[in-house]
Every structure is written in structure tokens, then in C-alpha cells.
Chain A
Amino acid sequence: MKKSIVMTALTLMSGLISSEAMASRDYINIVGSSTVYPFSTVVAERYGRSTQFKTPKVESTGSGGGLKLFCQGVGVQFPDIANASRRIKQSEVDLCASNGVDEIVEVLVGYDGIVIGNSVKAAPMKLTRKDIFLALAKDVPNPDGSKTTIENPYTTWKDVNPALPALKIEVLGPPPTSGTRDAFAELGLEGGCKKIDWIADLNNQSKAAAKAGDTAKSKSLKDQYKAICHTVREDGAYIETGENDNLIVQKLNANPDALGIFGFSFLDQNIDVIQGSLIDGYEPTFESIADGSYPVSRPLYFYVKKAHVGVVPGIPEYLSEFTSERAFGEEGYLAEKGMIPLDAGSRRQTAADVGNLKLLQL
């Protein structure tokens, strides 16, 4: 009796394993950004239902993690597509190339707005990017007018800008590992930072030095510029709240004095509890992000390994589903999920480039 149990277990085990065909894969493997994930998965699901191919598998690993996996090499055990909420970096292209992934197709699919919002129980805030920088940067320009920085002394919004209410600065936002945080630093903080002449000048000097061939000086100026513009204060005014935007929404609801940083789709789904702050005079709405007047929005990309097209079935069909008008068009189902579409001209261009699998050139 016992022997038979052992034998059954063994046969079952070997049967399960031998059925494995490690040499091939019949579904598309997608990794990458958690911001693109909600859109990528919708396309994957529709594609799985409307074609004879299996539904692609989408992993949410973050942009950097996804591209790293993507660049591991060519072969069915490596992902076919990497989603990213920023453009691929030169260092990542180099990593790809060193592993034999030298043909990459880049697809820009749309935009995502980053919202600073608060509870509807409080009055909406009217901020400028400069206010955001002054309120959240670790070091801010010395108010006495000299070209030095001091540790951020501001404790209320009124200190930053007399037009704002005398509320304590309390902003809930994503941690440094998040792509949303990177994009916020780049678009929100740096956008405001550039408004201060002598800091913007550092960047210009750096570019001039690079042109003159002095790379060391260029780099040190650039580093100085980035350190001022991208570093978020750590004295408790900015509260890291994990990668979960739903949590930020709940916390804002509980604390009407706090502001939060999250993706536009979360504002779209929770308009009964939270509202977006105006930035530079523009409210975060679908229209203002789409026409570019709302300043804090970022591009969404995905990258395709050309060597896998034809090896893993269904990749061209997935690409054409994603870049079809009913998906990423102005009234497509991705727009319904909160993605901000490209303008009509760029959409046609993208669809055509994807059709010929145009290769990435940085």
C-alpha cells in the first residue's frame, strides 16, 4: 500500500515535470513599470479574448527592474516586452547590447498625469511648481538673495508663498524606489527649481562646459544642479507612504490638512473623496493633461525585443492591438482607464513605426 503511494507520487511528479517544454513559450512575457501595468494588462486581456493566442503575462516590477530583466539576454526564458514610465537610459541600452539584445523597438503609448491632491473636505490648493519645490526640496535658496542654499526652513505653506493658507506642510508621497517619485522629482521639483535663475544657470553652465569639452566641470555642475533640484526633504514634511496609491487616497480622506502625490487614474476613480490641486493655474483634468497645459505629466513607453518577434507567437498582433485607435485612441479603452492619449499625428506615427518594427535610436 505504502509503496503504491510513493510510486503514484513519483509518477505524478515526473509527469508534471516532463510535460514542461522549457524550450518554447506560447505566451508573451511582459515585465516593467507599475504605472504602465494597469494599461498593459487591459490590452493583454482584450488581446487574449479577441485572438487565438494565449493571454500575455504581465509582471509589475517597476521600470528599472523591468528593463534590467529585459536586458538579460535573448531567449524564451527572458521577457519579450518591458514597460517603462520613463525613457530607456543609455546605460540600460548598453547593458542590453552586452547581453546580445541589440535590436529594441521603442513604443511611446501615452501620458500619465501626476497629481498633488487633498481631501474634498478641504479647499483646493493653488500651487505653482516653484511653491512645490520650495515646500519639498531638502535645500532651498537662501532667502537673503545670495547664491547659496540653506536647509529647508519652511513649515507652513504660507511661509512658502503668502498667498497660500497657513497649513502645515504635510505631503504623502511614494518612496524613492517608485517611478512616480522619479517623475515627480523631475517634472514637479525640477520644474520649480528651474524658475530660480541662479540654479537654472548651473545647468546652462554645465551644458556650456560639456560643449567646451570640459566633461569633469560639466559633470560636477550637473551633479550640483541635480542635488539641489531632485532631493526631497527628510525632516518629516514629506511622508513616504509606500507604493500603494490607494493607501495615500485613504490617508488623505482621514487627514484633510495633508496633500498627497499619486497618479491621475487614482484621482479619476476617487473624485468623490479627493481633488487635484491646481498647478501653475491648471487643474489636473483629462483634457489639460492631454493638451500639455498641465505641467506634471510623464510619457509611458514600452520596449520590444525584436529578436523575439516570430519566436514567441503573437507579438506583432499584441503591438497592433496596443497601438490601435480603439485602444490608445482619444476615446479608446485605455483612455477610459485613465491613460492620457497622444495627439492624432503622433498616434499615426507610432502605429506606423510599430508596424515596421522601427528600431530604437537614442
Chain B
Amino acid sequence: MKQSSNNSTLDKVNQSLARRYRAEKRFKAYGIAAILFGITCLIVLFTDIIGKGHSAFFQTYVYLEVTMDSEQLYINDPSDPQQIAAADYQGVIKAALRERFPEASSRRDRRALYALVSNGAGFKLRGQLEADPTLLNQTIGLWMLVDDDVDTYYKSRGEDGESGFDGRLNEKQIGWVESFIADGYMESRFNTTFFTSGDSREPEQAGILGAMAGSLFTLLVTILLSFPIGVAAAVYLEEYAPRNRFTEFIEININNLAAVPSIIFGLLGLSIFIGFFEMHRSIPLVGGLVLTLMTLPTIIISSRAAMKAVPPSIRDAAYGLGASKMQVVIHHVIPLAMPGMLTGAIIGIAQALGETAPLLMIGMVAFVVDIPGGVTDPATALPVQIFLWSDSPERAFVERTSAAIMVLLAVLISMNTLAVWLRKRLERRW
């Protein structure tokens, strides 16, 4: 009897063994499938963004020989900076274009010809003359920005000059561009403008520096406010607060706040900081304050978790040596909890960096050309810049949108790497 029952249990196990192995394999396969799905999505996303955006890091330039004719520039006194600043540089560029293509004589043709060179090229010429006033009345050769339509054409055209996207260019304009290319007067270079200038409605002059500075100032305010406040709140709640209904109520509310949609914080900021305190719209100070409200719950929760993880033995040892509560907290608990706190803070800040919804409410979704110099200058932020460019009709903004996404991703990845490095660096084991 005993024998047979033993046998039957063993039989049962043996019978079910194959099934259990299969179940095990299936279970593993589900996990692998989930990871593969994630990786595929990521690869598709990255190929799309990089495929569209890599060309934005290059910009087409055209070589022109420009005569800095003082008469045409309306400069009669080269020592007067006012005159140098206000001179008609676009005029001499137009003259240089006319000289190269004398066949463009009708008004319409000339307009088409002038449209080949970016209307920002004159500022480069001004910079040259400001740096070296002796250039006046001399002929200088200069590589200048081309218009975005020409840029798109040059980038999409194959080596043989076939199948270029000619969109808004007419046949004559294409002829002129091809003539520049044939003479080797047109080439692609690294797009420094993209990293050194603010927003512009001309794609070839648009850059991301303004948005980067805006994001930087906003995050500076956020870090300076949310980290100290968050840590102070966490220390009080974890170390000092008595356990009662009231502190429990606060705890629940902090957890709830972490899950509140960010646009709500934007509305709050709009009514408090702009409505009540009458601060200006679109400034990083208000943006930073709003994002502080948004990141505080994250920081408080992660700081408390980090402090909870400090072993009681350390506290007990400090108390045993006669340390006061404050000494225990400042000398032992906070330094040991710091890696966790910092990680929480950096993840909160990285989240704030990618946020647009609350900024919409306080007016940071705006066209700002001047690069902000402080927290009270009007500014936008990186994700907002991406949103604004994606909505622009100009074709050349498509690649710039993707390029801006790449920059934002790079910033986020480096922030997360910093978080990991800090944790590794400061972590202490016991």
C-alpha cells in the first residue's frame, strides 16, 4: 500500500515534469518577448529620429566674393560703430550675386536669386567688419549660410545631381545652385549655428542654445529649491514627526501628489505665481517654481526611503556615544542616505527637464530669440522647443526637430549616468 502510494506520487511528478518544464520555458519566453518588444520599439524610435535628424548637424554654405563697397554699405565714417552696425550688408551680398549671375535681370529673377542666400548672412559680414574695419572697400571671399530651401535641395540631391527635392525652388534657382556646386562653391559643414544661437523662424539660423539656457536656468531654480526643501521635509517626517493621524494624512497626500498630472501644477503656478504674485509670464523663475512643486513629492519619497535604509545600529551607536538627535541625523543618517537622496533628486530633475505641460500654462511655450541671461529673462525649454519646431511649416524644421530630440536625449542620458555614478561612488556597504 505504502509502496504503491509512493510510486504513484513519483509517477505523478514524473508525468507532470514535462508539463512543468514547458510552463517554465513559456514563462521565460514571455519575459524575453517583452524585452524584445521593448528593444524593437526603441530601435525603431532611434532609427527614425537619427535617420531624420542627423542631417541637421550639417549645414550648406556657399562661397561668395563680396566687395565691401563703402558706398553701397552707406558707411562714410568707418570709426563710427553705429554706422557699421546699421550698414546694408544684405545689399552687398545681393550685388555679389548679381555679379556672378548677370543674366538675372528681371525683378522677379533677381528676387529669386537673392532668395538663395540666407537673410542672416549679412550679420556674418557685419561681424567680420566689426572685427576688422580695414576690410572696408576690399573684396573678401566668404562662406555664407544658404537659404533653407537650398539647404534641403543640396542635402537631398545625389552625387550625380539627380533626384533632389526641389520643393519651392524654380528651375532657374536650381540652375544657379547647380552652377555653384559645379564650381565647388557649395559645401556642407558642421552646423555650429545649431548649437550657438537661439530660435529663429529661418531654419538655417535656428539654434538650440536659447532653449538649453532656458532649461538650465529653470532647472537651477528647481534644484536649489526642491532639494533642500525636500530633504528637510523628509528628515522631519522620518526622524522627528510623531506617528499620529495627522502625519499619516500628510504622508498619504505626499504620495498622492507624486501621481498628480503635471498640468495641474502648471495651473497652480499660473494662479499663484503669475496671478497672485504678479510675476511675468514665460520666465524660468516661475517655471522653476512650478517644477519644484512637481518634483518635491518624488524627492521627499526617495529621501525618506533612503533614510529608512540606514541601519538602526548606526543610530544606536551614535546615541550610545551621547550624540544628540540632531547630531545623529546630520553626522550619520544624512551622509549615509545621501546617495539615495541624490539619485531620487536627479531622477526628479530629469523628469522636470522633459516636462512641457506645466510650462504651457505659465507661458514658456513661446518664440524667444534672445538667449536668456538670467532667471527673469523670457525663455523656453528644450522639450518646448521640440514641440514648437515640430509644428512649423518649413520643411527644414523636420530635421531640426529630430536633432533637438537627440540633444534632449543626450542630456537625459548623461543625467541618468551621473545618478548611477554618484550612487556607485557614494554608496557605503555595511
- Please list the residues of chain A having a beta carbon within 8 angstroms of any beta carbon in chain B: 6, 9, 12-13, 16-17, 19-22, 25, 27, 29, 31, 34, 37-38, 40-42, 44-45, 48-49, 54-55, 57-60, 75-77, 79, 243-246, 263, 265-266, 268-272, 331, 333, 336-338
A12-B224, A57-B282, A60-B367 known; 7 new pairs, CB 8 Å cut-off, are A45-B202, A77-B280, A79-B281, A244-B390, A246-B391, A272-B167, A338-B393
How far, in whole Å, are A74 and B275 apart by their CA atoms in the complex? 13
The answer to whether A265 and B393 touch (CB under 8 A), given A58-B367, A271-B167, is yes
The winner among B202, B366, B368, B398 for most chain A CB atoms within 10 A is B366
How far, in whole Å, are A54 and B378 apart by their CA atoms in the complex? 11
The answer to whether A243 and B282 touch (CB under 8 A), given A57-B378, A59-B365, is no
Q: Is the CB of A268 within 8 A of B393?
A: yes
Q: Which residues of A contact B165 (CB under 8 A)?
A: 272
Q: Which residues of A contact B301 (CB under 8 A)?
A: none
Q: Which residues of A contact B394 (CB under 8 A)?
A: 269
> Please, which residue of chain A has its CB at the minimum distance from the CB of B167?
A272
B274: which of A38, A42, A77 is its contact (CB, 8 Å)?
A77
How far, in whole Å, are A19 and B281 apart by their CA atoms in the complex? 16
Q: Is the CB of B282 within 8 A of A16?
A: no
How far, in whole Å, are A60 and B168 apart by their CA atoms in the complex? 26
B278: which of A22, A31, A265, A268 is its contact (CB, 8 Å)?
A22
Asked if B392 is at the interface of the complex by the 8 Å CB criterion, the answer is yes
How far, in whole Å, are A64 and B394 apart by their CA atoms in the complex? 25
The winner among A22, A246, A331 for most chain B CB atoms within 10 A is A246
Q: Is the CB of B278 within 8 A of A246?
A: no
Q: How many A-B residue pairs have CB under 8 A?
A: 110
Q: Is the CB of B366 within 8 A of A58?
A: yes
How far, in whole Å, are A80 and B201 apart by their CA atoms in the complex? 21
How far, in whole Å, are A34 and B167 apart by their CA atoms in the complex? 24
Q: Is the CB of A77 within 8 A of B390?
A: no
Q: Is the CB of A48 within 8 A of B369?
A: yes
The answer to whether A55 and B370 touch (CB under 8 A), given A17-B285, A246-B393, is yes
The answer to whether A270 and B111 touch (CB under 8 A), given A12-B224, A42-B201, is no
Q: Which residues of B contact A75 (CB under 8 A)?
A: 278
Q: Is the CB of B366 within 8 A of A19?
A: no
Instruction: Count chain B residues whose beta carbon lies closer than 8 angstroms to a beta carbon of A.
Output: 41
Asked if B104 is at the interface of the complex by the 8 Å CB criterion, the answer is no
Q: Which residues of B contact A37 (CB under 8 A)?
A: 367
Asked if B195 is at the interface of the complex by the 8 Å CB criterion, the answer is no
Q: Is the CB of A41 within 8 A of B367?
A: yes
How far, in whole Å, are A37 and B200 apart by their CA atoms in the complex? 13
Q: Write out, one digit per residue, whether chain B residues 368-381 have a CB within 8 A of any chain A CB (1) or not (0).
A: 11100011101000
Min distance, Cβ A299 to any Cβ of chain B, angstroms: 19
How far, in whole Å, are A271 and B165 apart by their CA atoms in the complex? 11
Q: Is the CB of B391 within 8 A of A268?
A: no
Asked if B279 is at the interface of the complex by the 8 Å CB criterion, the answer is yes
Q: Is the CB of A269 within 8 A of B201?
A: no
Asked if B395 is at the interface of the complex by the 8 Å CB criterion, the answer is yes
Q: Is the CB of A331 within 8 A of B376?
A: no
Q: Write out, one digit per residue, whether chain B residues 265-304 have a CB within 8 A of any chain A CB (1) or not (0).
A: 0000000001000111110010000000000000000000
Secondary structure at the B interface, as helix, strand, loop or mixed, is loop
Q: Which residues of A contact B369 (CB under 8 A)?
A: 44-45, 48, 55
> Please, which residue of chain B has its CB at the minimum distance from the CB of A23?
B278
How far, in whole Å, are A79 and B115 apart by their CA atoms in the complex? 34
Min distance, Cβ B405 to any Cβ of chain A, angstroms: 14
Q: Is the CB of A19 within 8 A of B393?
A: no
Q: Which residues of B contact A17 (CB under 8 A)?
A: 285, 375
A77: which of B278, B367, B370 is its contact (CB, 8 Å)?
B278
How far, in whole Å, are A331 and B110 apart by their CA atoms in the complex? 12
Q: Is the CB of B224 within 8 A of A19?
A: no
How far, in whole Å, are A337 and B367 apart by their CA atoms in the complex? 16
Q: Is the CB of A263 within 8 A of B393?
A: yes
Q: Is the CB of B285 within 8 A of A38?
A: no
A20: which of B201, B224, B376 is its contact (CB, 8 Å)?
B376
Q: Is the CB of A20 within 8 A of B274?
A: no
Min distance, Cβ B417 to any Cβ of chain A, angstroms: 23
How far, in whole Å, are A21 and B283 apart by their CA atoms in the complex? 12
How far, in whole Å, are A49 and B198 apart by their CA atoms in the complex? 12
Asked if B408 is at the interface of the complex by the 8 Å CB criterion, the answer is no
How far, in whole Å, are A16 and B168 apart by their CA atoms in the complex? 47
A-B contact pairs, 17 of them (CB 8 A): A16-B374, A19-B374, A27-B370, A27-B378, A29-B280, A29-B378, A44-B367, A58-B366, A244-B390, A244-B391, A245-B391, A246-B392, A246-B393, A268-B393, A271-B168, A336-B115, A337-B201
B365: which of A44, A60, A263, A271 is its contact (CB, 8 Å)?
A60
The answer to whether A16 and B285 touch (CB under 8 A), given A9-B228, A59-B363, is yes
Q: Is the CB of A246 within 8 A of B368?
A: no
Q: Which residues of A contact B395 (CB under 8 A)?
A: 269-270
Asked if B319 is at the interface of the complex by the 8 Å CB criterion, the answer is no
> Please, which residue of chain B has its CB at the minimum distance from the CB of A9?
B224
Q: Which residues of B contact A34 (CB under 8 A)?
A: 391
Asked if B123 is at the interface of the complex by the 8 Å CB criterion, the answer is yes
Enumerate B279-334 residues with CB–CB distance to A below 8 Å.
279-282, 285
The winner among B281, B363, B366, B393 for most chain A CB atoms within 10 A is B393
Asked if B347 is at the interface of the complex by the 8 Å CB criterion, the answer is no
Enumerate B348-373 residues with CB–CB distance to A below 8 Å.
363, 365-370
Q: Which residues of B contact A54 (CB under 8 A)?
A: 370
Min distance, Cβ A23 to any Cβ of chain B, angstroms: 10
Q: Write out, one digit per residue, whether chain B residues 384-418 have a CB within 8 A of any chain A CB (1) or not (0).
A: 00001011111100100000000000000000000
How far, in whole Å, are A336 and B201 apart by their CA atoms in the complex? 12
The answer to whether A266 and B285 touch (CB under 8 A), given A13-B224, A77-B280, is no
How far, in whole Å, are A19 and B119 apart by their CA atoms in the complex? 35
A59: which of B115, B274, B281, B392 is its contact (CB, 8 Å)?
B281
